[in-house]
Copies of this chain bind each other. A is one copy, B any other.
Amino acid sequence: MSRVRVHNFSVSVDGFATGEGQSLDTPFGHAGARLHEWFFPTRTFQRMQGQADGSTGVDAAIAGTWDAGIGAEIMGRNKFGPQRGPWEDDEWKGWWGSNPPFHTPVFVLTHHPRPPVEMEGGTTFHFIDATPQEALRQAREAAGDLDVRIGGGPTTVREFLAADLVDHLHIAVVPIVLGRGERLWDGLEGLEQRFRIESVTTPSGVTHMTFTRP
């Protein structure tokens, strides 16, 4: 069976995965760029931005595992964009420009389905109103033998963890106290009992944690 994976998911030391007040200019609200500063220099992120290369140290090695073997992504609507409620602007096609970095089908969870949007480079956004289980069934069908990535945001990752659907979870704990926003860990008491956990701190100050099936 293909695996379900979460990669490069940053949380503050107080457990927030995004700040308060998401808007078009601030996808992570008052957190700004602080949760992802470790990620920006990496080859993975730099290539997403069209740069030829980036850093290749330990942060980059861990970040770089995010796409190999992935056949589909599932993301929450709040990762896709800042709109809430019924879609008022069908022209919005995500934060990622005309050629998003996914290059696979992407299933966007929303209570307001709309027609699929095909982008350059192999990414197609499908908008579905579905439980985690049903979304995963559709994503697996699209992914064939490949793995499915849960792309975030925090509510979506938390729901998939609560439903015990995640096989590999990579968290980057960032040494900031964000204070407010969306918490990752709420409702997940005892999560560690289902996983083997490894941690490593890198010179960027981040602690990478992997939760894998024992």
A3 in the interface (beta carbon within 8 A): no
Kindly supply a per-residue 1/0 record for chain A positions 174-192, scoring 1 wherever the CB is within 8 Å of any chain B CB and 0 otherwise. Answer: 0111111001011111111
Q: Please indicate which of the listed interface residues A175, A178, A201, A209 has the most CB atoms of chain B within 10 Å of its own CB.
A: A175
A163 in the interface (beta carbon within 8 A): no
A15 to B185, CA, bound (A): 9
The secondary-structure label for the interface of chain A is loop
Q: A13-B15, A13-B185, A15-B15 are in contact. Are A197 and B201 (CB under 8 A)?
A: no
- The chain B residue with its CB closest to the CB of A190 is B177
Which residues of chain B are near A197, meaning CB under 8 Å? 175, 205
Interface residues of A (CB under 8 A from B): 13-15, 173, 175-180, 183, 185-192, 197-201, 205, 207, 209
